Amino acid sequence: MEFISPTVIIILGCVAVLLFLQWKNLRRPPCISGWIPWIGAGFEFGKTPLEFIEKARIKYGPVFTVIVMGTRMTFVTEEEGINVFLKSKEVNFELAVQNPIYRTASIAKNIFLKLHEKLYITVKGKMGTLNLYKFTGQLTEELQEQLQNLGTHGTTDLNKFMRHLLYPVTVNILFKKGLFPSDERKIREFHQHFQAYDEGFEYGSQLPECLLRNWSKSKKWLLELFKKNIPDIKTYKSAKDNSLTVMQAVLDLLEMEANEQKSPNYGLLLLWASLSNTVPVAFWTFAFVLSHPNIHRTIMEGISSVFGTAGKDKIKVSEDDLKKLPLIKWCILETIRLRAPGVITRKVLKPVKILNYTVPSGDLLMLSPFWLHRNPKYFPEPDLFKPERWKKANLEKHAFLDCFMAFGSGKYQCPGRFCPRHHSQSKVWYPRHNVSCVAEVCLVILILCAKTKRSDKLQLF
């Protein structure tokens, strides 16, 4: 009896623990954990993440967890989950992104958490005073140079064309005019390193840098570029007005907070955030418009009616002109809908209930704007490019369509989504819900192409 009792107690104890774990797991969402410890479903997920999410949703239902590199990611795809993602106080943006920020930009968690809110307010405030004329001036120059290089019969890759247009314009506006290299070899180097950094960003945010040699090389190259140029960015003064660039405002704040040594790292983050979505959006807007001849024709007719026929004059695009061409803006929004970011993320601070499940604290809650935008309940015929669906959105009143989540949501949604304008009548700055500043340059490119009779040269192959 004396021999049996401890054994029985241990067995009963184990059974109780097992039952408890099972009960706990029953309340958790179904979990895809793969068969390799820690790596979990990392390989399958990493290969084609968007398809993986959709297949898992069909198989496991609207809430499911995936284990990737030791991290529990719980995906939410239906109303209840989306509401928790958007509204619950128990989920947090900063704690979800601090790790990826550390890996991709080498900003320690304590520094990131200390500065994030202030930096966010600074960037949002500065983006709020950028004006479209700053884009059109430089954009016109860049575009004219590009077209000259092309010659009258030249052809180019549309993606390359967009990069050559948007990299210099964005860098020179957000950081400092003239920062983007003008020497051909250095331009090539910039393109090569930014693309390598951008393409490897997802892996870079998950894996140790020592496993990603080329990516790490490009990251270091970009950090070095900023390190060399920070003193110049700091002392740069705009010839037109005395306003600070976005990066100058960031540098001022870092100096005030005694974290200047992290300036190149924040430069790298701002560079990536401003270019990683806008170049593909610009590319796809053109690709969609050019592959829908009716829409292309209507846009061109609209441009002719506002600006007249093509000529040699330099073109100025005003706020009022843009208002007369809503179809172009709808095309950009429709492109952003169809090419929205794959996922946005929040960290669960305290267990949250979604449907019949309890998502435990520590999980990353994941929402996919890409798939949400393909839900026919919110976007009928979701796979079709239908810019006219944006007619219903009250853009003047800062409202997108319901469930449009391309710029994220809540307190820290994308600061690049606003583009305030000078209101010609009231003479005040007013914030207008807009497609991202840089994405809107598509509109200007279209207008310029039409004005210089180049639109017929833009073809998809």
List interacting residues with ligand HEM (CB under 6 A): 93, 120, 123, 127, 273-274, 277-278, 281, 336, 341, 344, 406-410, 412-416, 436-439
Rank residues 317 and 438 by Cβ distance to ligand HEM and give the closer one. Answer: 438
Rank residues 126 and 451 by Cβ distance to ligand HEM and give the closer one. Answer: 126
Please list, in sequence order, all residues whose beta carbon lies within 8 angstroms of the beta carbon of residue 439, skipping any fewer than 6 positions away: 277, 278, 281, 282, 285, 332, 336
Q: What is the smallest separation between the CB atom of 250 and ligand HEM, expressed in angstroms?
A: 10
Q: What is the smallest separation between the CB atom of 120 and ligand HEM, expressed in angstroms?
A: 5
SS3 444: helix
Q: What is the smallest separation between the CB atom of 356 and ligand HEM, expressed in angstroms?
A: 27
Q: What is the smallest separation between the CB atom of 347 and ligand HEM, expressed in angstroms?
A: 12
**CA-wise closest residue to 287 among 446, 50, 49:** 446
Q: What is the smallest separation between the CB atom of 435 and ligand HEM, expressed in angstroms?
A: 7
Greatest pairwise CA separation for the chain in angstroms: 103
Rank residues 198 and 307 by Cβ distance to ligand HEM and give the closer one. Answer: 198
Rank residues 269 and 352 by Cβ distance to ligand HEM and give the closer one. Answer: 269
Rank residues 30 and 49 by Cβ distance to ligand HEM and give the closer one. Answer: 49
Residue with tokens 């820690």: 38
Backbone angles phi, psi at 71, to 5 degrees: -110, 135
Q: What is the smallest separation between the CB atom of 238 and ligand HEM, expressed in angstroms?
A: 18
DSSP string, 49-86: HHHHHHHHHHHH-SEEEEEETTEEEEEE-SHHHHHHHH
Helix (H) or strand (E) holding 213: helix 213-235
Alpha-carbon Rg for the chain, nearest whole angstrom, is 25
What is the number of alpha carbons within 13 Å of residue 181 lying toward its C-beta? Answer: 13
Helix (H) or strand (E) holding 240: none
As a whole number of angstroms, the distance between CA 215 and CA 104 comes to: 10
AA letter at 75: F
Rank residues 33 and 71 by Cβ distance to ligand HEM and give the closer one. Answer: 71
CB atoms near residue 152 (< 10 Å): 9
CB atoms near residue 357 (< 10 Å): 23
**CA-wise closest residue to 76 among 92, 62, 61, 91:** 62
Rank residues 190 and 370 by Cβ distance to ligand HEM and give the closer one. Answer: 370
Give the residue closest to ligand HEM by C-beta: 408
Rank residues 247 and 352 by Cβ distance to ligand HEM and give the closer one. Answer: 247
Rank residues 286 and 307 by Cβ distance to ligand HEM and give the closer one. Answer: 286
Q: What is the smallest separation between the CB atom of 278 and ligand HEM, expressed in angstroms?
A: 5
**Any bridge partners for residue 68, and if so which?**
40, 71
Q: Where are the alpha helices (DSSP H) in 27-157?
A: 42-47, 49-60, 79-87, 93-105, 109-127, 132-150
Q: What is the smallest separation between the CB atom of 124 and ligand HEM, expressed in angstroms?
A: 8
Backbone angles phi, psi at 147, to 5 degrees: -70, -35
Q: What is the smallest separation between the CB atom of 91 and ligand HEM, expressed in angstroms?
A: 11
